[in-house]
Structure 1
Amino acid sequence: MLQINMADVVNVIKSLVPYLVVIGALFVAAIIISVAVNKKTVKNEGTRKLVRSETWLVALIAIVAAVSAMMSGPLSTLLNNATAKKYELQSSTVSRANKLAEDIQDESVVMLQNDDSNLPLASKKVNVFGWGSTNPVYGGTGSGSMSKQYPMVSMLEGMKNAGLTTNARLTKLYTDYRKDRPDVSMFKQDWTLPELPAKNYTPAVMNQAKSFSDQAVVVISRIGGEGADLPRNMKAKDVTYKDNSKDYPDFQEGQSLLQIDKTEQDMLDTVTKNFENVTLVYNGANTLQFDFLNKYPQIKSVLWCPPAGQTGFTSLGKVLAGSINPSGKTSDTFLTDLKKGNTYNNSGDFKYDNVEEFKQMVTGFTGETYPVKPTFVNYTEGIYMGYKFYETAAKEGLINYADYVKYPFGYGLSYTKFNQKMGEVSRKDGRISFDVMVTNTGTKAGKDTVEVYYNPPYTNGGIEKASANLVKFEKSKLLKPGETQAVKVSFKEDEMASYDEKGVKSYVLEGGDYDVSINSDSHTVLDHKNVSIHSTITYNSKSNTHNGDKAVATNRFDDARGDVTYLSRANHFANYEQANAAPSNFSMSDKAKSEFTNLGNYKDKIKESPSDKMPTTGAKNNVKLADLHGKSYNDPQWDKLLDEMSVKDMDNLIANGGYGTVAVPSVGKVQMTDADGPAALNNNFTKVGSIGFPSSTSVACTWNKELATKFGELIGDMAHDMNVGGWYAPSQDIHRSPFSGRNFEYFSEDATLSGTIAAGQIAGAESKGVYAFMKHFALNDQETNRMNMLCTWADEQAIREIYLKSFEMSVKQGHASAAMSAFNYIGPTWCGANPALLKSVLRDEWGFKGFVLTDYFSGAGFMNADQAIRAGNDAMLATTKTSNHVNGESASTVLAMRQASKNILYAAANSWLYEHGEPKAAVPIWRTAMYVLWVLAALLFVLLEYVAIRRFMRRRKASKVEAEANATIQPVGVNESVVSQSDSSVPRR
Structure 2
Amino acid sequence: MLGINIDDVLAVVKSMQTQLNAIGVILVCAVVLTIAVNKLWIKSKGTRKLVHSWTWIVAAIAALVAVSMILFGPMKTTLDLMSGSGTLSATSKAKAEKLATDIQNEGITLLKNNDANLPLKANSKVNVYGWASTNPIYGGTGSGSMNANYPTTSLLEGLKHAGLQPNDKLSKKYTNYRADRPLVGMMSQDWTLPEVPAAQYTSSDISQEKNYSDKAVVVIGRSGGEGADLPTNMHAKNIQTKPAGTKVKIQAFGGTPGSYYVNNSKDYQDFEDGQGFLTLSKTEQDLVKLVTSNYNDVTVVYNGANAMDMSWVDQYSQIKSVLWCPPAGQTGFDSLGSVLAGKVNPSGKTADTFVKDFTQTAWWNNFGHTDYTNMKEFAPTAQSTTPSFVNYVEGIYVGYRFFETASDEGLINYNDVVQYPFGYGLSYTTFEQKMGDVTYANGKVSFDVTVTNTGDVEGKTPVEVYYNPPYTEGGIEKATANLVAFEKTKELKPGESQTVKVSFKDSDMASYDTNGNGGYVLEAGEYKVSINSDSHTKIDTKSVNVTSTIKYDASNTHNGDKTAAKNQFADVAGEGITYLSRANHFANYAEATAKPTNTELADKYKDEFVNSTNVSQWLEKAKKADSDVKMPTTGAKNGVQLYQLYGKKYDDKMWDKLLDQLTVKEMRSLIEYDGYGNGAVESIGKVRQTDVDGPAALNNNFTKQGSIGLPSSVSVASTWNKNLAKEFGDIIGQMAKDMGVTGWYAPAQNIHRSQYAGRNFEYFSEDPLVSGTMASLEIKNAQAHGIYAFMKHFAMNDEEDGRLAQMHTWSNEQAMREIYLKPFEMSVKDGGARATMSAFNYVGNTWAGANKNLLVNVLRNEWGFNGFVLTDYFGGYGYMDATESIYNGGTGMLATVKTTNEVSDDSAATVSHLREAAHGVLYAAVNTYLYANGAPKASVATWQWIYYVVVAVIALLLLLAAIVSIRRFIKRRKDEKAALEEAQPAEAEGADGESTEATEGTEGAKTESAE
Q: How does 1:664-683 map to 2 (within 5 A)?
A: 664-683=681-700
For 2:761, what is the secondary structure of its paired residue?
helix
Maintained 8 Å contact 1:147/1:692: yes
CA RMSD of aligned residues (A): 2.4
In 1, distance between residues paired with 2:44 and 2:133?
83
Report what 1:477 is aligned to. 490
Q: Which of 316, 319, 339 in structure 2 is aligned with 1:319?
A: 339
In 2, distance between residues paired with 1:751 and 1:472?
11
Report what 2:373 is aligned to. 353
Distance 1:966 1:271, change over 3 A: closer
Q: How does 1:313-712 map to 2 (within 5 A)?
A: 313-361=333-381, 370-541=383-554, 543-563=555-575, 564-606=577-619, 607-608=622-623, 609-712=626-729
Letter in 1 for 2:81: N
In 2, distance between residues paired with 1:716 and 1:588?
45
Maintained 8 Å contact 1:61/1:937: no
For 2:127, what is the secondary structure of its paired residue?
strand
For 1:596, what is the secondary structure of its paired residue?
coil
Q: Are positions 1:111 and 2:110 aligned together?
A: yes
Normalising by structure 2, we get a TM-score of 0.93
In 2, distance between residues paired with 1:956 and 1:636?
73
Letter in 2 for 1:674: D
Report what 1:365 is aligned to. none
Q: Which of 828, 831, 852 in structure 2 is aligned with 1:835?
A: 852
Q: Are positions 1:858 and 2:860 aligned together?
A: no
In 2, distance between residues paired with 1:501 and 1:294?
44
Q: Which of 803, 816, 825 in structure 2 is aligned with 1:786?
A: 803
Report what 1:63 is aligned to. 63
Q: How does 1:743-782 map to 2 (within 5 A)?
A: 743-782=760-799
In 1, distance between residues paired with 2:151 and 2:44?
73
Distance 1:970 1:405, change over 3 A: closer
Maintained 8 Å contact 1:969/1:986: no
In 2, distance between residues paired with 1:553 and 1:677?
33
Maintained 8 Å contact 1:653/1:662: yes
Deviation string 1:616-639 (CA, Å, 9 cap, x unpaired) is 222332222222211221222222
Q: How does 1:823-972 map to 2 (within 5 A)?
A: 823-950=840-967
For 2:219, what is the secondary structure of its paired residue?
strand
CA shift, 1:271, in A, is: 1.3
Letter in 2 for 1:298: Q
Report what 1:85 is aligned to. 84
For 1:250, what is the secondary structure of its paired residue?
coil
In 2, distance between residues paired with 1:135 and 1:430?
52
Maintained 8 Å contact 1:838/1:873: yes
Report what 1:96 is aligned to. 95
In 1, distance between residues paired with 2:492 and 2:431?
10
Distance 1:312 1:45, change over 3 A: closer
Deviation string 1:52-83 (CA, Å, 9 cap, x unpaired) is 5444333322211111000001001111112x
My pick for the range that moved more, 936-945 or 843-852, is 936-945
Distance 1:32 1:431, change over 3 A: same
Q: How does 1:161-310 map to 2 (within 5 A)?
A: 161-235=161-235, 236-238=238-240, 239-310=259-330
For 2:861, what is the secondary structure of its paired residue?
helix
Q: How does 1:137-156 map to 2 (within 5 A)?
A: 137-156=137-156
Distance 1:502 1:61, change over 3 A: same
Maintained 8 Å contact 1:455/1:516: yes
CA shift, 1:307, in A, is: 0.8
Maintained 8 Å contact 2:141/2:226: yes
Q: Are positions 1:803 and 2:820 aligned together?
A: yes
Maintained 8 Å contact 1:39/1:45: no
Deviation string 1:739-781 (CA, Å, 9 cap, x unpaired) is 1111011100010110001111111101111211111111001
CA shift, 1:954, in A, is: 5.9
CA shift, 1:180, in A, is: 1.4
Maintained 8 Å contact 1:647/1:888: no
CA shift, 1:963, in A, is: 8.8
CA shift, 1:944, in A, is: 3.8
My pick for the range that moved more, 946-955 or 2-11, is 946-955
CA shift, 1:341, in A, is: 1.2
Distance 1:166 1:537, change over 3 A: same
Structure 2 unaligned regions, length at least 5? 241-258, 994-998, 1004-1011
CA shift, 1:44, in A, is: 6.8
Identity %: 57
Q: How does 1:121-160 map to 2 (within 5 A)?
A: 121-122=120-121, 124-160=124-160
Q: Which of 719, 723, 727 in structure 1 is aligned with 2:740?
A: 723
Maintained 8 Å contact 2:384/2:877: no
Deviation string 1:695-724 (CA, Å, 9 cap, x unpaired) is 100110000111001001001111111111
In 2, distance between residues paired with 1:668 and 1:888?
26
Maintained 8 Å contact 1:215/1:275: yes
Letter in 2 for 1:795: N
In 2, distance between residues paired with 1:334 and 1:617?
58
Letter in 1 for 2:363: T
Maintained 8 Å contact 1:452/1:471: yes
In 2, distance between residues paired with 1:570 and 1:942?
87
In 2, distance between residues paired with 1:955 and 1:162?
84
In 2, distance between residues paired with 1:286 and 1:746?
10
CA shift, 1:171, in A, is: 1.5
Q: How does 1:726-745 map to 2 (within 5 A)?
A: 726-745=743-762
In 2, distance between residues paired with 1:818 and 1:272?
51
For 1:776, what is the secondary structure of its paired residue?
strand
For 2:32, what is the secondary structure of its paired residue?
helix
For 2:13, what is the secondary structure of its paired residue?
helix
My pick for the range that moved more, 237-246 or 548-557, is 237-246
In 1, distance between residues paired with 2:48 and 2:270?
78
Maintained 8 Å contact 2:306/2:761: yes
In 2, distance between residues paired with 1:39 and 1:78?
45
Letter in 1 for 2:640: V
For 2:384, what is the secondary structure of its paired residue?
strand
Report what 1:816 is aligned to. 833
Distance 1:962 1:375, change over 3 A: same
In 2, distance between residues paired with 1:658 and 1:203?
57
Maintained 8 Å contact 2:642/2:658: yes
Report what 2:6 is aligned to. 6
CA shift, 1:148, in A, is: 1.7
My pick for the range that moved more, 3-12 or 51-60, is 51-60
Report what 1:73 is aligned to. 73
In 1, distance between residues paired with 2:108 and 2:44?
89
Maintained 8 Å contact 1:358/1:598: yes
Deviation string 1:463-512 (CA, Å, 9 cap, x unpaired) is 11111111111111111122111111111111111111124411111111
Distance 1:46 1:496, change over 3 A: same
Distance 1:466 1:946, change over 3 A: same
Normalising by structure 1, we get a TM-score of 0.95
In 1, distance between residues paired with 2:984 and 2:346?
111
Distance 1:36 1:528, change over 3 A: same
Q: How many pairs are equivalent?
A: 973
Distance 1:304 1:40, change over 3 A: closer
In 2, distance between residues paired with 1:428 and 1:912?
42
